[in-house]
Structure 1
């Protein structure tokens, strides 16, 4: 039994070291490449810079600019940027007719600017020149592959129409059977299919796409909705990180020193359980990095603050548990019984404090925007992982050490 637990512990330590090394340095396995975690994480404007653009609404005598139109334009632009997979954008109104946008960590800035500022007025126009349906009648749009008349697979945009659009389109396809219905985007014909059948199910397809990326961009524009006003770019420039690479490197070094000091304190003060907590916290940091990459989280300065706070809460949970274990040992209980009782007694206190903080994180995420939401994400993710590492990993690892007859002396617990 002791040998089995010692082998288990050795395997855990080896796996932690291997995963940690891969996260720091990356690894290549044939054609499959794992990049270092620092390169896989998205960084915000303050850490990596991005693109800055100012859009101005164009006013005409027949189409005056109103606060309602500017607010709708901001909402549409935000939806489009979210569809690009960009997190933590800064979108704000500037004066009466301008919108200021800062987009972090974007690879193709020109393409993004075109998508943001495009009006995306979609129209299906019959041979009589009358508009059959518009983008307002579209409930959903997605980029898919389908076979054309020659059996060749091509990228198209699939549209799902609302009830009003379905009726209007059914009537139009019946009226213009075997005729052309042009599909126009911002007045330009992008597809001119011939109506081969009456379409009554509210499903329409836009053909003539170059590839699936072009189809995806168009689908995103249509789904995001048309801009209520014409917007012209009056300023476009690349912006650098406000924090600076040197300051960022120093922040990382400071963070590593801080974690090392925490590990040293836990080991020196709590001895055996402190050593186990350093193993569990190492796993916690690994899980946090992997989770951040998996959810596509964008790291900013407030996000770093959330990470530091969540690490502190993870340590705090271990401190509460270890103090309870010491109290049980002083009552004369065995090491294993003290560990079980310590985790059981510390559970309520830790849950209460973490749940209230989690509720605060949910409120910040729901009501906040930009960097505030970034802080809330790291805080909530940290709390969830902290509870997992404290009550599952730390307990299992500590009991494995005890069952392996390595940490079963009361003196090792400071009692």
Structure 2
């Protein structure tokens, strides 16, 4: 059973209305809050933000290869996602550098600290030795001299820079050391300790009981008085080991060490198993610590080579210019199509407007991060959409000039133009897929953005050219106004309806 053009038109009208509704700003006709999370995602060059260039600073004896840099990039990406930054760009450059772009970030210093910091969290057994917050120690994982190497191993887990004194507190009714140590009390001021690899501590080697990498989950929660704290869960093996240790050392000290510096030394009041909380950090410190505990450690220490802030004014200017370029391009194309192809050209302009609404709606739904390169891909896809119409209309004019009827000329024009449209668009889409793969492989998000917008645009252009424009022309077959050959750019009269293909 064939589908009539009128039925296809109803379908086109419905999806066009939906696409137009989605393309409108989120505050316009936001029915049921559907559009709350549907918006145009802008990259750094459009909305401003932070760009940081990081360089690997490996300790002596460690080699930095592509696998190490890719792993470090992935860890940074997890941290950035934890910061809630949308549309970040993280890519390697050369053999030892990583570019991080964070659009819309409000606190550049905090973002750099969370991204760059590579620290080692340990819970250690002082073995009867009295330790105090701020004291530099040597643990079974090494001393300050080994700090960089420890930070480059998978066992190292980052923690927020400058975190105040913290201590594990059991969840529920499990007794812990919080009541026995002033350092464990929320709100107690503790001097900010910056670990120094040049420190030369003296004393025994303290045994590491728990490493940061053995924390299976971390999250923001509150303590009994409602203050924000870091909740954590230990892996099964670590939980058994921690329970054995705390149950056999009740009344003794344990120390929480970050980068070989003691930041809290509570007394154990009872056994602790697989869950606990870390008290002490500020609200922002709690957020930073959770992000870093979840994301894992960097595989190699990083230093900041450069850091710059891109202002939103520059981003808005780029966006305005891009919009002007798009409007000018569409207008010039519309004028050309109408002058050269007359009535079919006018219909193609309507189809082009539908194409624009559909494509932009898809950009918001997928979502696609719009950068200047992505907008360039979108504008290029407009040219691909017009190219398909040019092939169809040029063939239609040839069919009408040899005396075919309007009905047969339309069908023949589409049928003969379709192979060229199909092959050229599929070739472009294959190229887009290759570019997208290459961009993901190399970390060049600017390439993936261009490839994705062009791919979507070409796919939608095939729909508008073959379905939308063809439906419009079919609906004109019996219209009296469409019987004038000059409206199709030809001088010969149309053949009778019985003309064969």
TM over 0.5: yes
Q: How far apart are residue 312 of structure 1 and its match? A: 0.5
Deviation at 1:275, TM superposition (A): 1.7
For 1:402, which of 438, 451, 476 is the aligned residue? 476
Q: Alignment partner of 1:51: what SS?
A: strand
Specify whether residues 59 and 259 from structure 1 end up closer, same or farther in structure 2 by C-alpha distance, changes over 3 A only.
closer
SS of the equivalent of 2:435 reads helix
Q: Deviations over 1:65-112 (max 9, x none)?
A: 643466654453245336643333465469x7x765443333443342
Q: How does 1:336-355 map to 2 (within 5 A)?
A: 336-355=407-426
Q: Quote the Cα distance in structure 1 between the aligned partners of 2:210 and 2:282.
A: 25
The question of whether the paired residues in 1 share the 8 Å contact of 2:218 and 2:233 is answered with yes
Q: Distance in 2 between matches of 1:171 and 1:125?
A: 15
Instruction: Give the C-alpha shift of residue 26 in structure 1.
Output: 5.5
Structure of higher CA gyration radius: 2
Q: Are 1:88 and 2:63 matched, yes or no?
A: no
Match of 1:314 in 2: 385
**Counterparts of 2:484 and 2:234, CA distance in 1:** 68
Q: In structure 2, what is the Cα distance between the partners aligned to 1:272 and 1:194?
A: 85
Aligned pairs (5 A) from 1:8-407: 15=17, 19=21, 23=24, 27=28, 40-45=40-45, 47-55=46-54, 66-68=63-65, 72-81=71-80, 84-89=85-90, 92=93, 101-119=100-118, 121=120, 130-131=207-208, 134=211, 136=213, 166=236, 168-169=237-238, 171-172=240-241, 175=244, 220-231=291-302, 233=304, 236-240=307-311, 246=317, 248-330=319-401, 332-368=403-439, 369-399=444-474, 401-402=475-476, 405=479
Deviation digits for residues 272-326 of structure 1 (CA, Å, limit 9, x no counterpart): 2222211121121112222223334333332232122111111111222223333
Q: Secondary structure at the match of 2:51?
A: strand
Check 1:92–1:18 CA distance in 2 against 1; reply closer, same or farther (3 A cut): closer
Q: 1:265 to 1:216 in 2, by over 3 A?
A: farther
Q: Is the 8 A contact 2:70 2:92 kept in 1?
A: no
Query: Which consecutive unaligned segments of at least 5 residues does structure 2 have?
Result: 128-205, 491-501
Instruction: Supply the distance in 2 between the matched residues of 1:193 and 1:277 (Cα, whole angstroms).
Output: 78
| 2:489 equivalent in structure 1 | 414
**Structure 1 residue 377: deviation in Å?**
1.6
CA 409–210 in structure 1, closer or farther in 2 if over 3 Å, else same:
farther
Secondary structure in 2 aligned to 1:67?
coil
Q: 1:364 to 1:174 in 2, by over 3 A?
A: same
**8 Å CA contact retained: 2:58, 2:64:** no
Deviation at 1:357, TM superposition (A): 1.3
C-alpha contact (below 8 Å) 1:336/1:402 kept by paired residues: no
CA separation of 1:26 and 1:142: change in aligned 2, threshold 3 A = same
CA distance in structure 2 between the aligned counterparts of 1:17 and 1:406, rounded to whole angstroms: 32
Q: Verify the 8 A CA contact 1:158 1:205 in the aligned structure 2.
A: yes
Q: Distance in 1 between matches of 2:47 and 2:118?
A: 29
Which has the higher mean CA deviation after the structures are superposed, 106-115 or 64-73?
64-73
Conservation of the 8 A alpha-carbon contact between 2:44 and 2:310? no
SS of match in other structure, 2:374: helix
Deviation of 1:259 after TM superposition, in Å, equals 0.6
- Distance of aligned partners of 1:264 and 1:228 in 2 relative to their CA distance in 1, 3 Å threshold: same
**CA distance in structure 1 between the aligned counterparts of 2:484 and 2:120, rounded to whole angstroms:** 74
Q: Deviations over 1:19-58 (max 9, x none)?
A: 49x73795265996979x9x8340333x444223355666
Q: Please, which runs of 5 or more residues in structure 1 have no aligned partner?
A: none
**Conserved? CA contact 1:314–1:387, under 8 Å:** yes
Using the TM superposition, give the Cα deviation of residue 12 of structure 1 relative to its aligned residue in structure 2, in angstroms.
Answer: 7.0
TM-score computed with the length of structure 2 as normaliser: 0.60
Could you report, residue by residue, the CA deviation over 1:331-381 in whole angstroms, capped at 9, with x for unpaired residues?
Answer: 555434443443333332212111111111111111131322222122112
- TM-score normalised by structure 1 residue count: 0.70
Give, in angstroms, the shift of residue 126 of structure 1. Answer: 7.8
Q: Given that residues 42 and 369 in structure 2 are in contact (C-alpha distance below 8 angstroms), is that contact kept between their aligned partners in structure 1?
A: yes
Q: What displacement does 1:222 show? A: 3.9
Deviates more, 1:247-256 or 1:63-72: 63-72
Report if aligned partners of 1:144, 1:212 keep a CA contact under 8 Å in 2. Answer: no
Task: Output the CA distance in 2 between the equivalents of 1:195 and 1:414.
Answer: 89
In the alignment of these two chains, the number of paired residues is 389
Deviations 1:206-251 (A, max 9, x none): 6779999988765653453202344455754423479775565344
Shift of the 30–293 alpha-carbon distance from structure 1 to 2, 3 Å rule, reads closer
Q: Structure 1 residues 234 and 43 mapped into 2: Cα distance closer, same or farther (>3 Å)?
A: closer
Q: Does the residue aligned with 2:102 lie in a helix, a strand or coil?
A: strand
